[in-house]
Amino acid sequence: MTDNKITTVELGDGGPQVGVQGLGCMGMSEFYGDTDESAARETLETALAAGVTLFDTADVYGLGANERFLAPFVAAHRDEITLATKFAIERKGDDPHYRGVRNDPAYIRKAVEDSLRRLDTDAIDLYYMHRRDPAVPLAESVGAMAELVRQGKVKQLGLSEVTGAELREAYAVHPIAALQSEWSLFSRDIERSAVPAAVELGVTVVPYSPLGRGFLTGAFTDAAKELSEGDFRQYQPRFTGDNAKKNAALLEPVHKIAAAHGASAAQVALAWVQQRAQVHGLTVVPIPGTRKSSRLLENVAATRLTLTEGELAQLEPIAGQVAGDRYPDMSSTSAARE
Ligand SMILES: NC(=O)c1ccc[n+]([C@@H]2O[C@H](COP(=O)([O-])OP(=O)(O)OC[C@H]3O[C@@H](n4cnc5c(N)ncnc54)[C@H](OP(=O)(O)O)[C@@H]3O)[C@@H](O)[C@H]2O)c1
C-alpha cells in the first residue's frame, strides 16, 4: 500500500487503474438482512479512502434501489471511482418470485437508460451482462452493448457467469474488460474454462462472493438457524442443514492458517482469491461485500497478506469437498452450459 491505499491494477486492456480490491454493494439494499443505511454510506467513504475504487452494483439489486442508493456517492466522487452495473436479470415488482433473463438488444437499450437515470450519471464505467440467455445470439447482445460504448453511455464491457467459449465469442465482437463470476475457496467452477480464456484474452477477473457470502468468515454456520427471515442464504443449498455442517468443518484449515498469521478467516479467504492472479497469470479484482467500515478495513488489509505455497496446498482440496450447489437453481449459471 502507498499512502495507506491499496495497490492498483489496470481493469481490462488499456482500462483505468482500479484498487486491487473492489466493493460489492449488493448487500446494502437486499439479500442479506436489514441494513443500517448510514453505516453503509460510511462504508462507501471508508472504502474510497482506503483506495477501493471499483464499486459494484446491478439494476436488479433491490429492483433499482441499490443503484438509487449509490447515486449520491457517485455524484460526490464521480471522477475518483469506477462504477460498474449490470443488466439481464428481469424481475417484476408485483411478483417477488419471478426471475427472467433478457439479453435482447431492445431490452439492453432500455436497461441502460434506466440505470443511468437511477445512478444519476452520464456514463457507466463498466457495464456487465449479468446472465446469459442462450436463446439470444451473443453477437446480437454484445453488438448492442458495443453500440452503447460508441454512444458514450458505457465505457467498458463485462460479462458475468459465462463460459470460456462464450467469453471468446463475445470478445470477437468487442473487447471485454472484465469477467465477473463466483470465485472463492468454495466455488471454483470458473477455473474449468473461463479462467483460461480470460488469461488468453487479457480479461480482468472480478470474483464475486469471494467470502462465500459470509460463510467462509465463520460469521454464521447454519443460515436457516442463525440468519434473519428472508435472508437469501437460507435458500442456498450449501448453507443449511447437513450440508452446512459438513461445509463448516471444511473451514478448519482456514482458521488454522488465519491463526498462524494473526489474521481473520475472512482475510485468508480473500488472500487466496487475490493470489489466483499469480497462480493463473491474470489480473484479479475481488469485490467482497460489506456494510461495515470495520470489516471493509479488515478486508482491504487482506491485500497485504501472502499465503505460502504450503498454505495454498492445504486449502487446495476444499472446493472439491463442498456439499451442495452454489444456487438452488443452477440453470442460468455458466456451469449449466459447460
Ligand atoms: N454477478 C453476480 O451474479 C453476483 C452474484 C452475487 C454477488 N455479486 C456481487 O459481488 C459482491 C460480493 O458478493 P456477496 O456480497 O454475495 O458475498 P461476499 O462478499 O462473499 O460476502 C458478503 C457477506 O460477508 C459479510 N462480510 C464481509 N466482510 C466480512 C468480514 N471481514 N468478516 C465477516 N463477515 C464479513 C457481509 O456482511 P456485512 O455486510 O454485514 O458486513 C456479507 O454478509 C456483491 O455485493 C455483488 O456486488 C455478483
3-state secondary structure 163-201: CHHHHHHHHHHCCCCEEEEECECCECHHHCCHHHHHHHH
Q: By the 8 A CB rule, do 59 and 106 touch?
A: no
Q: How far is it, in rounded angstroms, from Cα 316 to Cα 128?
A: 30
Residue 28 lies in a domain: yes
Question: Which atom of ligand 1 is found nearest the CA of 184?
Answer: 20
Eight-state DSSP code of residue 5:
B
Q: Are 326 and 182 in contact (CB under 8 A)?
A: yes
> Does some domain include residue 121?
yes
**Active-site pick, 61, 107, 128, 171:** 61
In a domain, 292, yes or no: yes
- For the question of whether the overall pTM of this predicted structure is more than 0.95, the answer is yes
CA of 213 to the centre of ligand 1 (A): 5
Q: Are 217 and 226 contacting, i.e. CB atoms less than 8 angstroms apart?
A: no
Residue 27 near residue 321, CB atoms below 8 Å: no
Instruction: Tell me if 287 CB under 6 Å of ligand 1.
Output: yes
Span 90-109, average pLDDT? 93
Which of 21, 37, 290 gets mutated to test ligand 1 (max ligand atoms within 8 A of its CB)?
290
**Residue 4 in this model has a pLDDT that exceeds 50:** yes
The span from the CA of 73 to the CA of 313, in Å, is: 41
From the CA of 57, give the closest atom in ligand 1: 47
The Å distance, Cα 162 to ligand 1 centre, comes to 20
Residue 3 lies in a domain: no
Position 1 in a domain: no
Number of domains in the chain: 1
Residue 38 lies in a domain: yes
What cell was used for 281? Answer: 497469470
Cα–Cα distance between 32 and 235 in angstroms, integer?
12
In a domain, 302, yes or no: yes
* Range of the structural domain that residue 195 is part of: 8-337
User: Among 40-44, 57-61, 331-335, where is mean pLDDT lowest?
Assistant: 331-335
> In DSSP terms, which residues pair with 154 in a beta bridge?
124
Task: Report whether 74 contacts 123 (CB < 8 A).
Answer: no
Question: Alpha helices of the chain — where are they, by DSSP H?
Answer: 37-49, 65-77, 105-119, 138-150, 164-173, 194-201, 223-226, 241-249, 252-261, 265-274, 276-280, 293-301, 309-315
Q: Is 85 in the pocket of ligand 1 (CB under 6 A)?
A: no
Protein residue closest via CA to atom 36 of ligand 1: 290
pLDDT over 80 (residue 3): no
Per the listing, cell 454484445 goes with: 142
Q: How far is CA 322 from CA 73, 185, 255, in A?
A: 38, 10, 17
Q: Tell me: pLDDT of 1 over 80.
A: no
Helix (H, G, I), strand (E, B) or coil at 16: coil
> What pLDDT shows up at residue 73?
98
pLDDT tens readout for residues 108-150: 999 999 999 999 999 999 999 999 999 999 999 999 999 999 9
Residue with CA closest to ligand 1 atom 38: 290
How much is the mean pLDDT over the chain? 96
Domain harbouring 120, CATH code: 3.20.20.100
User: Within 10 Å of residue 3's Cβ, how many Cβ atoms?
Assistant: 5
Span from the CA of 26 to the centroid of ligand 1 (angstroms):
8
> Per the domain annotation, does 330 fall within a domain?
yes
- Is 327 noted as a catalytic residue in this protein? no
Distance 261 CA to ligand 1 centre (A): 23
Separation of alpha carbons 206 and 126, rounded Å: 12
Round to whole Å and give the CA distance between 314 and 191.
Answer: 18
